[in-house]
Amino acid sequence: MATVASLGETDLIRRVIAPLLKAGASSNKPAGWKLRQGIGDDAAVLSPPAGRDLLFASDMLVEGVHFRRNVLPAKWIGWKALARNISDIAAMGGRPAAAVVSLGAPGGTDARLIRGIYQGLASCARYFRMAIVGGDTTKAAAIVVDVSILGDVASGKAVLRSGVRPGDALFVTGSLGNSYASGRHARFVPRVAEAQAVLRRLPIHGMIDLSDGLASGLRLLSQASRVRLSVDLAAVPLARGARSVEQAMNEGEDFELLFAVSGRLAGRVPRMIGRVPIMRIGQAARGQGVRCLDDRGKAVPLPGRGFEHFSARERS
């Protein structure tokens, strides 16, 4: 197959990208959504269901920062680019509905690599029954995949970071750490179904997805809700291969959910949803900041700082 420069933008879209996305776009939509015009016009035209709020977010993946093309297979680059956005919708208690994809790539890029990325995007969209309805392609010095997502949630029912209350119990889905070495940083399944399953049983007061690590998630949730969060370090669920609770709390890219429910109703949260464990790891109280408790209940410093996007070294 040719390079993207020899194909040109028109043929790259027509021959490589559009065929992968069009089939799925016409069939995959959550209940109540209609796709009136997909790829091929100046904008996509969608008809959303009445009585739902829209969720809108974007997330950019950059070669050499979030992945290396010789390490991560192209289809997992595509999967990760969309799954990160779906995770943001899950964290609001919503359903993903539609996405647009902007792709930058050097002119010399093999079109097979681009096809692989869009195969990954399309397969993630199919898995979540959502549609990729448009986007943009352009020349760039390195591969950049920026996805914007549109989701929905019952009117007034979006779960914000700011709703945690003193007395709430804190839970985390799945297990944390070792996401890079295990490949889970790319091959993860965002916790849409798990959040929906909890919401069918009881209200969630506050929620965030753990893209930059549990330590960072706790800090952001505490700041937004103006509460003090305490975490039992011994309860933090470590993923297979995680070296330490410090790694589990700071490596990032777990894409699990951290959420708070009323302490009184905490018993209604199931211990497993499908094959995903839901672990109680702490509680909220009046005050501010994040407090870690060791296995004797003694306060210890929060391990590490979470992931900083502009200063960190490159990742695999």
Enumerate residues 50-89 that contact a copy of itself by CB under 8 A: 50, 53-60, 62, 64-66, 87-89
Number of residues that bind a copy of itself (CB under 8 A): 78
Task: Tell me the window of 48-56, 74-82, 183-191, 241-249 that interacts with a copy of itself (CB under 8 A).
Answer: 48-56
| Contact (CB, 8 A) for 284 and 166 | yes
User: Measured in Å, how far apart are the chain's first and last C-alpha atoms?
Assistant: 26
Distance in Å, CB of 153 to a copy of itself, minimum: 7
Segment contacting a copy of itself by CB under 8 A, of 16-24, 118-126, 142-150, 263-271: 142-150
Measured CA to CA, the distance from residue 20 to residue 132 in angstroms comes to 10
d(CA 156, CA 97): 18
Backbone angles phi, psi at 67, to 5 degrees: -160, 160
The reply on whether position 136 binds a copy of itself by CB under 8 A is yes
138 contributes a contact to a copy of itself by CB under 8 A: yes
Report residue 129: phi and psi, to 5°.
Answer: 50, 45
135 near a copy of itself (CB under 8 A): yes
C-alpha span between 299 and 208 (Å, rounded): 24
CB of 228 to a copy of itself, least distance (A): 20
Block residue for tokens 């777990």: 254
If binding is defined by CB under 8 A, does position 142 make contact with a copy of itself? yes
Residue ranges in 276-315 that form contacts with a copy of itself under rule CB under 8 A: 308-312
Contact 144, 60 (CB under 8 A): yes
Nearer to a copy of itself, 67 or 233 (CB): 67
Helix, strand, or coil here: 203?
Answer: coil
Q: Is 149 in the site for a copy of itself (CB under 8 A)?
A: yes
Contact, 206 vs 164, CB < 8 A?
yes
- Tell me, residue by residue from 20 to 39, as one string, x for binding to a copy of itself by CB under 8 A and - for no binding: ----------------xx--
Q: Is 316 in the site for a copy of itself (CB under 8 A)?
A: no
With respect to a copy of itself, which residue has the nearer C-beta, 111 or 233? 111
| Cα 314 from Cα 168, distance rounded (Å) | 37
Q: Counting contacts by CB under 8 A, is residue 101 touching a copy of itself?
A: yes
| Residues 189-248 within binding reach of a copy of itself (CB under 8 A) | 207-209, 224
Phi (first) and psi of residue 115, to 5 degrees: -60, -40
